[in-house]
Structure 1
Amino acid sequence: MASNLDSVLKKNANDLAKELEVERILKAFKLNPYDILDLPITATEAEIKKQYRKKSLLIHPDKFKHEKGLEAFDFLKKAEDQLSDPAKRKDIDMIMTHARTQVLKAILGSGYSTNIPDDDPRISNLTPPFDQQVRAKGREILVEDELARRRKTKLAYANEGAEKAKQEAEVAARKRKVEDQAKWEERREERISDWRNFSSNKKAKKSKKNSHVLG
């Protein structure tokens, strides 16, 4: 009886841990893969792979059913992919290093050094914690970069749209010119016929006028 109760309690505890992990990932800052994997920016490649494996096994959709479990798992995989790609990790690390520098400058003033370790007494007992401040500053920078990227993309689309509209207008203008030319050619015989009739009428009137004068 006690054994069965322990099993039920253990299962409930495991399910709760999985549910909390799904919720943590969904609430994590999506532009920072370190936040999603719950790792410091100093994590090694081996630590990243180990953490991903641990968390992916915990919330894998095949093993834990949650209405947003697949979404959380996708975020987790994307974060691991970003940090496993040297170029992408370099970009995110540059931003987080800049964030750390900004926080150090704000705390220590002009005498700060970027080589100060996280366990330095001057920053190890801060409120909020130093790592949390760095993550917050990194969030600000990442949001600014993302907004700038979106503005650039939007402008590019706008310029592309304007260029496309210009090209379409030029095509339409050429099409109208061709159509007008075709219509002009179609009425060539009609114009020639009209001119001949006009000339004939004019000659007839002149001949009639001359006959009156002579008579």
Structure 2
Amino acid sequence: MGDTSDFDRFYTDLKETEKKDSVLTSKQQIDRLLRPGSTYLNLNPFEVLQIPPDSDVDFAKKKYKKLSLLIHPDKNADDRERADRAFDVVKKAIKMIEDPDELARCRETYTEARARLAIIMSEKRRKQKKDGLGDKIPEDEPAAYNKALWVVVTKVFADREKKRKMLEERANEEKRRAAEELVAAAEKRRKEEEFAKNYEESRDERRGTWRQFMAKKARKEGEGKSLRGTAFRPPKLKLETSGK
């Protein structure tokens, strides 16, 4: 979000917007839900509905009804595309809160964020004491603590979403690889079955060819034996006699 001053302005504007919630116009709420950084900010359903993390489901539903009526696409015909997107964000938020497992995970995110912040504050306090600046830090004040917690909560939601996507991609990759292996195995079986079928179908042809070969071989051997059984008689030489 840029340097510290940029973040301070962003956070201040955000919280001022929340304070004016009761008088926000449809456009302002749509702007809030689609503001820069909303991809990660809207992972937090309590942030979307602007309610405390310990709110019960009934309270969340009332807030959802009020907000959804304000940003409903039918009531924002001149900005329907953005209203559709904002409305989807709000619907997703209330579904998460209505799901007991999702609600528990969201509240666990706050628990983890508080634990992380406690470590950050402890380290900051230790360093400050080491530098001789005392042990009081800005986050000891409620306003500064809430600001720091908001930052850490947003980060934890983002970290968990990144991890979820990574695991999902890994699972999809494993499914893809398993599917490819199944296709390869099926192709191998098909080729083996085709070979076996062709082998069986050509059995008679191979037998006939073999019989022809053996018969031909037998004929050649028979002819050889006939030649060997005939005695070779060289022609008689007639000696010439002299006239003496």
Q: TM-score range by the shorter chain?
A: 0.7 to 0.9
CA contact (8 A) 1:37 1:76 kept: yes
Match of 2:165 in 1: 150
In the TM superposition, 1:69-84 aligns within 5 A as 69-84=83-98
State the TM-score, normalizing by the size of structure 1.
0.78
Flag the 1:202–1:62 CA change in 2: closer, same or farther, 3 A.
Answer: same
1:138 aligns with 2:153: yes
Deviation string for 1:140-178 (max 9, x for gaps)? 212221121222121112222222222222211111111
1:41 to partner: Cα distance = 1.8
Match of 2:30 in 1: 22
Select 1:50's aligned residue among 45, 62, 66: 62
Distance 2:227 2:89 in 1: 103
1:36 to partner: Cα distance = 0.9
Distance 1:106 1:16 in 2: 35
Match of 2:236 in 1: none
Flag the 1:46–1:175 CA change in 2: closer, same or farther, 3 A.
Answer: closer
Distance 1:87 1:98 in 2: 16
Distance 2:196 2:154 in 1: 62
User: Which of structures 1 and 2 has the bigger CA Rg?
Assistant: 2
1:212 to partner: Cα distance = 0.7
Match of 1:35 in 2: 47
Flag the 1:195–1:45 CA change in 2: closer, same or farther, 3 A.
Answer: closer
Deviation string for 1:115-160 (max 9, x for gaps)? xxxxxx933142xxx2232122112212221121222121112222
Which amino acid in structure 2 is aligned with residue 62 of structure 1? Answer: D
CA contact (8 A) 1:96 1:135 kept: no
Distance 1:152 1:201 in 2: 70
Match of 1:202 in 2: 217
CA contact (8 A) 1:99 1:134 kept: yes
Distance 1:109 1:206 in 2: 102
CA contact (8 A) 1:99 1:137 kept: yes
1:211 aligns with 2:214: no
CA contact (8 A) 1:61 1:73 kept: yes
Distance 2:54 2:75 in 1: 31
Superposed CA RMSD: 2.4
Select 2:142's aligned residue among 117, 120, 124: 124
Select 2:175's aligned residue among 136, 142, 160: 160
Select 1:96's aligned residue among 87, 91, 110: 110
Distance 2:75 2:152 in 1: 36
Which amino acid in structure 2 is aligned with residue 98 of structure 1? Answer: E
Count of residues in correspondence between the two structures: 189
